């Protein structure tokens, strides 16, 4: 029997449902394409929070600011094509805050490491010690696995099903 796999996209997704005799806020039910559709480009909107850890949804549209973190992060492209540019940070440039990404004022002056072009389903290492920028000519969506940090945006009441 042939199978048809259903994937979501920014302009084509179907949200599920939550029917519980409980406070729905405890489940923080959302949809990444819906979140990305309502977000400004490059906002990092938390959709997962496990104490200090988060997963953020980013709408990638144009050239992002440069980001860096004091630990590894990972990006999973869920729609579109994204180019990730990388610059090596000097030891003194590596962020020293507790965790999560910070936005840099511009492209760091370190050596260019290269780039990764990723499409739907591709997971990309955003390595500690490197700054990165996301670029896409058309709207794309990525999930960022990281730590709750200075640029994490939280708007749970807006993105979650509460009733």
Partner 1 sequence: MDVMDASVVKLGTDPDTGYSSFQLGSFTFRRDEYFAHVGWPKGMHTIEVDRFLRAMVRDIGWGFFYGWIFFDDVFGTTNHYGTVDIFAGSYDRGCKEAGIDLLETFPAATVAQAFETIARDWISEGYDPLNAPLETGSPAGPKGKERTDPLVRSFIAADRMLGLEGDKLVRSDETGHPINRAFADLSFDAPDIVCEPGFEGQLHAIDLFEHIARSDVTWNPSISAVTRANICCVTSEEHMLPVIHGNDRNEWFIQLSDEIHWNVADKNSGAPRGRVVMKAGDVCAMPADIRHQGFSPKRSMLMVMENGTPGLEVRYASGELKPYPVDFD
Please count the CA atoms within 13 angstroms of the CA of 150 that sit on its side-chain side. Answer: 12
Instruction: Choose among 50, 51, 48, 52: nearest CA to 32.
Output: 48
4 binds partner 1, rule: CB under 8 A: yes
Instruction: Considering only residues 55 through 84, tell me which ones interact with partner 1, judged by CB under 8 A.
Output: 55, 71-74, 76, 78, 84
* Cβ distance to partner 1 smaller for residue 18 or 62: 18
Element housing 84 (H / E): strand 81-88
Stretch that binds partner 1, among 3-11, 60-68, 89-97, 101-109 (CB under 8 A): 3-11
CB of 132 to partner 1, least distance (A): 10
Instruction: Considering only residues 27 through 46, tell me which ones interact with partner 1, judged by CB under 8 A.
Output: 27-34
Q: 45-75: b or e for each residue (b if 16 or more CB lie within 10 Å)?
A: bbbeeeeeebbbbbbbbeebbbbbbbbebeb
* Cβ distance to partner 1 smaller for residue 65 or 76: 76
Applying CB under 8 A, the site for partner 1 has a residue count of: 72
Residue 153: phi, psi to the nearest 5?
-105, 130
CB of 129 to partner 1, least distance (A): 9
Instruction: Choose among 154, 163, 161, 162: nearest CA to 57.
Output: 154
Give pairs for 16-20: CB < 8 Å, separation 24+. Answer: 18/161
CB of 103 to partner 1, least distance (A): 18
Among 43, 53, 102, 151, binds partner 1 (CB under 8 A): 53
Instruction: Tell me the per-residue interface mask from 90 to 119 with partner 1, x by CB under 8 A, - otherwise.
Output: ---------x-----------xxxxxxxxx
């Amino acid at each position: 029997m042939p199978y048809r796999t259903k994937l979501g996209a920014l302009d084509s997704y179907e949200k599920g449902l939550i029917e519980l005799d409980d406070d729905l806020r405890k489940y923080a039910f959302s949809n990444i394409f819906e979140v990305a559709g309502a977000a400004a480009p490059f906002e990092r909107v938390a959709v997962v929070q496990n104490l200090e850890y988060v997963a953020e949804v980013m709408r990638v549209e144009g050239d992002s600011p440069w980001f860096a973190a004091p630990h590894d992060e990972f990006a999973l492209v869920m729609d579109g094509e994204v180019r990730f540019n990388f610059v090596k940070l000097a030891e003194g440039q590596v962020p020293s805050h507790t965790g999560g990404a910070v936005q840099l004022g511009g492209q760091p002056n370190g050596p260019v490491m290269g780039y990764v072009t990723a499409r739907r389903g591709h997971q990309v290492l955003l390595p500690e010690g490197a700054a990165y920028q996301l670029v896409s000519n058309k709207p794309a969506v990525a999930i960022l696995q990281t730590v709750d940090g200075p640029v994490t945006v939280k708007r749970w009441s807006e993105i979650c099903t509460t009733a």
